[in-house]
């Protein structure tokens, strides 16, 4: 049995799976917004599972941000009370065992590669398009972290060949760089571009609704969205050439993407034929927590 824990900013979700990936139990608690509280919460989940089911073989945790290569401290986490803390060491002391810790986008990608939409393929690129944008590279069911631990972080590469209009209507990225993919293909990026161009104040659901009612502005916004996605992913295809690209996160629920992205991607990659497929995730919201268990 394996425990997977998805440490989010507002809730911490945990599952217990067997060797075949069958879910045996699931628990969810509120994430305490302080460091000691977060550690205590994780410990209580592990203790509860083991009291009910017996000792487990491994504990894996997916979290936002990364562990600094130099200092082993958390960095870039939007759960800011974790930043600068030695979370791996502290959790290992509390749980009295080694644990696996990984960025949440890598956990999503791993989950889809092991027994999700990418299970038949050796090279899987998993993409999160939600509030933020992240990605993970999985080769033969293993996370390819990279020496800087930023392997797959395509959210902060610039959108290729930006037009003047696209430059004009994009926001500066919180990371300090400009033109980042995240500012175009995250949920907030998509809506903010639409509202800026059309002088509106709609949310993403209202824009999708508008598309179904054939509002030209919304149809155009979705066309542009798929085009932005295709341009960004073409870089991944040219460099990594994955078998499959699996999309997750809130924006991945838009069916329009899958009806158009594969044709659009073909226009931008350096190959007359494109065998890479862009597909929707299989595990839905459970990708992060399942991937953590497979670490």
Q: Which residues bind Zn ion (CB under 5 A)?
A: 156, 173, 175, 177, 180
Q: Between residues 80 and 177, which has the closer beta carbon with respect to Zn ion?
A: 177
- Mode of pairing for the β-strands spanning 23-30 and 277-280: unpaired
Whether the CB-CB separation of 103 and 134 falls below 8 Å is answered with yes
Alpha carbons 29 and 7: distance in angstroms, whole number: 10
Compute the least distance from the CB of residue 78 to Zn ion, in Å.
13
- Cβ 109 to Zn ion shortest distance, Å: 19
Contact status, residue 75 vs residue 65, Cβ threshold 8 Å: yes
- Looking at the Cβ atoms of 2 and 156, the one nearer to Zn ion is 156
CB 188 within 8 A of CB 201: no
Least distance CB 49 / Zn ion (angstroms): 37
CB of 232 to Zn ion, least distance (A): 12
Cβ proximity to Zn ion: between 105 and 113 the closer is 105
Of the candidates 104, 148, 146, the residue with the CA atom closest to the CA atom of residue 126: 104
The whole-angstrom separation of Cα 2 and Cα 115 is: 15
Of 156 and 290, nearer to Zn ion (C-beta) is: 156
The smaller minimum CB distance to Zn ion, of residues 130 and 291, is found at 130
Instruction: Say if residues 283 and 8 touch (Cβ distance below 8 Å).
Output: no
Closest approach of Cβ 156 to Zn ion, in Å?
4
- E strand or H helix that includes residue 210: helix 204-212
């Amino acid at each position: 049995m394996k425990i997977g824990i998805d440490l989010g900013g507002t809730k911490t979700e945990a599952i217990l799976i067997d060797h075949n990936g069958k879910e045996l139990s699931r628990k969810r608690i509120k994430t305490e917004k302080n460091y000691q509280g977060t550690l205590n919460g994780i410990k209580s989940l592990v203790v509860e599972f083991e009291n009910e089911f017996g000792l487990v073989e491994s504990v894996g945790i997916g979290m936002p941000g990364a562990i600094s290569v130099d200092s082993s401290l958390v960095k870039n986490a939007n759960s800011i009370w974790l930043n600068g803390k030695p979370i791996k060491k502290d959790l290992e002391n509390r749980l009295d065992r080694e644990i696996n810790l990984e960025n949440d986008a890598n956990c999503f990608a791993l989950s889809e590669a092991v027994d999700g939409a990418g299970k038949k393929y050796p090279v899987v690129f998993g993409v999160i398009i939600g509030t933020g944008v992240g990605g993970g590279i999985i080769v033969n069911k293993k996370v390819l972290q990279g020496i800087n631990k930023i392997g797959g972080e395509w959210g902060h590469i610039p959108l290729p060949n930006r037009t003047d209009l696209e430059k004009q209507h994009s926001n500066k990225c919180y990371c300090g760089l400009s033109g980042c993919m995240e500012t175009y293909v995250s949920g907030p990026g998509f809506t903010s571009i639409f509202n800026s161009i059309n002088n509106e104040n709609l949310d993403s659901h209202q824009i999708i609704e508008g598309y179904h009612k054939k509002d030209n502005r919304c149809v155009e916004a979705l066309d542009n969205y798929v085009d932005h996605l295709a341009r960004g992913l073409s870089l991944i295809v040219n460099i990594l050439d994955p078998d499959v690209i699996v999309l997750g996160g809130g924006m991945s629920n838009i069916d329009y993407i899958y009806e158009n992205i594969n044709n659009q991607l073909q226009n931008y990659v350096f190959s007359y034929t494109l065998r890479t497929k862009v597909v929707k995730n299989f595990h839905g919201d459970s990708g992060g927590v399942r991937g953590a268990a497979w670490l």
